[in-house]
């Protein structure tokens, strides 16, 4: 082993991924593997014209969640939903999940019941099965989930398929999960200042808190697109914020994009939270993470079908790569849109309006290298 000690944080997110890829470069590639590291999920041929996709995510107490905020049943649900979200981003249907858990000594049977009730509820909601797992003691609560899904070879959608002239679409509304986190962090701070033990108040700001604690994977959206006869040209799930995901599509597809800020939808409750904290609602909508909506591109001729769909918005268009990723609003005109990565719980997220002109990339906190390859 080398005698040097170089901190991992010094590599940055893309440096870390590049370094990993270097170490892994000489593993021979199988002809059945269609997509390895570099999309929301890996894709390989299963047989009978079907592709399988596989994705994995880890949720760690103190990094990805705070156990004082989230009932274990919500956490069980969320751990499945965030992986299903990666599967549906490939236009695939989830089939099987494995759930591994590291349980700290202060985790009770009742908490475990809640956790697996949440897992079971999500499996039922998304029409999938829990087929395995592994449980150990651990220093803190760790959840590691893998989900396998299926898609017809002709229907698979990657990040890399966007073409100049396509339109950029978004399901649902965004910024809510970030607003929910902001409310929860504020409640905790207020209670800590009072010296009282914390009890989450899930009644106030119900919608945004639910967006944060119990997000929904948009399996319904890919089904609706199929029924409408629309196959997206590229797709990604919004885990790190719209701005960051547009950059992923741009980089993987070799295109630029313009996001029309007034077209990016947010819920009135999200706006109320931003107003209360004197924050910029556009920063919530563009840089807030964990909404698990779908960002995708469609051909121009499919736009009328999108316009007829409930809960899907056209938020921009795809341009040549040299134009880069930009945002437009009537107030500011066209300006560069930087990814402004979302930071997880242990470094409380601060969507920074300065990120419009800032070069700061995502941090090391959460590097999903199945999802972030160059």
From 35-43, 213-221, 228-236, 317-325, span contacting a copy of itself (CB under 8 A): 35-43
Among 12, 14, 67, 112, binds a copy of itself (CB under 8 A): 112
Angle, to 10 degrees, between the axis of helix 176-194 and the axis of helix 268-276? 40
Q: Is 198 in the site for a copy of itself (CB under 8 A)?
A: no
Torsion of CA 149, 151, 155, 158, to 10 degrees: 30
Among 12, 14, 16, 207, binds a copy of itself (CB under 8 A): 16
Q: Is 348 in the site for a copy of itself (CB under 8 A)?
A: no
| Residues 360 and 340 sit within 8 Å (Cβ to Cβ) | yes
Q: Which two tokens stand for residue 161?
A: 């398929």
β-bridge pairing 142-152 and 50-60: antiparallel
- As measured in angstroms, the least distance from the Cβ of 37 to a copy of itself is 6
Q: Which of residues 139-158 bind a copy of itself (CB under 8 A)?
A: 139-140, 142, 144, 146, 148
The site for a copy of itself, by CB under 8 A, has a size of: 90
| Residues 25 and 36 sit within 8 Å (Cβ to Cβ) | no
For the stretch 74-109, what's the b/e string if a residue is b when 16 or more beta carbons lie within 10 angstroms of its beta carbon?
bbbbbbbbbbbbbbbbbbbbbbbbbbbbbbeeebee
Q: Is 204 in the site for a copy of itself (CB under 8 A)?
A: no
Q: Which is nearer to a copy of itself, 118 or 250 (CB)?
A: 118
> H-type helices in 196-320, by residue range?
206-213, 219-227, 242-253, 268-276, 281-287, 303-308
Among 12, 18, 66, 116, binds a copy of itself (CB under 8 A): 116
Cα dihedral sign for 244, 249, 253, 255? Answer: negative
- As measured in angstroms, the least distance from the Cβ of 207 to a copy of itself is 22
Q: Which of residues 62-81 bind a copy of itself (CB under 8 A)?
A: 62-64, 71-73
β-bridge pairing 294-298 and 93-103: unpaired
From 53-61, 207-215, 219-227, 245-253, span contacting a copy of itself (CB under 8 A): 53-61
The alpha carbons of the chain give a radius of gyration, in whole angstroms, of 20
Among 65, 69, 77, 107, binds a copy of itself (CB under 8 A): 107
- As measured in angstroms, the least distance from the Cβ of 360 to a copy of itself is 18
- As measured in angstroms, the least distance from the Cβ of 283 to a copy of itself is 24
Report the alpha-carbon distance of residue 240 to residue 341 in Å, rounded: 6
- As measured in angstroms, the least distance from the Cβ of 13 to a copy of itself is 9
Among 14, 18, 66, 117, binds a copy of itself (CB under 8 A): 117
- Tell which residue, 207, 215, 355, 228, has the closest CA to residue 296: 228
Task: Give residues with Cβ within 8 angstroms of 272, minimum separation 6.
Answer: 205
Among 54, 157, 225, 230, binds a copy of itself (CB under 8 A): 54
Q: Is 2 in the site for a copy of itself (CB under 8 A)?
A: yes
Q: Is 197 in the site for a copy of itself (CB under 8 A)?
A: no
Q: Which is nearer to a copy of itself, 245 or 319 (CB)?
A: 245
- As measured in angstroms, the least distance from the Cβ of 135 to a copy of itself is 4
């Amino acid at each position: 082993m080398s005698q040097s000690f170089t901190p991992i944080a010094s590599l940055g997110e893309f440096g870390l991924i590049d370094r990993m890829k270097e170490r892994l470069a000489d593993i021979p590639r199988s002809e059945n593997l269609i997509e390895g590291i570099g999309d929301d999920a890996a894709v390989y041929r299963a047989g009978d014209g079907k592709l399988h996709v596989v994705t994995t995510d880890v949720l760690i107490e103190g990094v990805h969640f705070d156990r004082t905020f989230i009932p274990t049943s919500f956490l069980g649900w969320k751990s499945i939903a965030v992986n299903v979200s990666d599967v549906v981003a490939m236009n695939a249907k989830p089939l099987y999940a494995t759930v591994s858990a590291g349980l700290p000594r202060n985790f009770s049977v009742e908490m475990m019941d809640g956790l697996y009730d949440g897992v079971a509820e999500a499996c039922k909601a998304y029409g999938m099965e829990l087929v395995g797992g592994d449980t150990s003691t651990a220093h803190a609560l760790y959840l590691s989930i893998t989900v396998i899904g299926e898609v017809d070879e002709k229907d698979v959608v990657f990040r890399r398929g966007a073409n100049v002239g396509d339109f950029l679409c978004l399901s649902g509304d965004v910024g809510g999960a970030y607003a929910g986190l902001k409310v929860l962090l504020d409640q905790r701070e207020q209670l800590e200042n009072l010296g009282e033990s914390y009890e989450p108040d899930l009644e106030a700001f119900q919608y945004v808190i639910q967006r944060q604690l119990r997000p929904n994977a948009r399996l319904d959206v890919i089904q609706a697109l199929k029924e409408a006869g629309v196959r997206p040209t590229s797709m990604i799930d919004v885990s790190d914020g719209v701005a960051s995901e547009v950059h992923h599509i741009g980089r993987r597809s070799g295109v630029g994009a313009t996001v029309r800020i007034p077209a990016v939808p947010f819920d009135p409750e999200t706006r109320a939270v931003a107003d209360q904290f004197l924050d910029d609602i556009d920063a919530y909508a563009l840089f807030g993470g964990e909404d698990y909506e779908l960002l995708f591109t469609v051909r121009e001729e499919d736009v009328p079908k999108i316009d007829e769909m409930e809960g899907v918005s056209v938020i921009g268009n795809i341009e040549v790569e040299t134009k880069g990723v930009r945002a437009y609003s009537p107030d500011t005109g066209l300006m560069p849109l930087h990814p402004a990565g979302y930071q997880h719980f242990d470094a409380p997220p601060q969507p920074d309006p300065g990120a419009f002109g800032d070069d700061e990339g995502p941090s090391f906190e959460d590097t999903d290298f199945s999802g972030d390859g160059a």
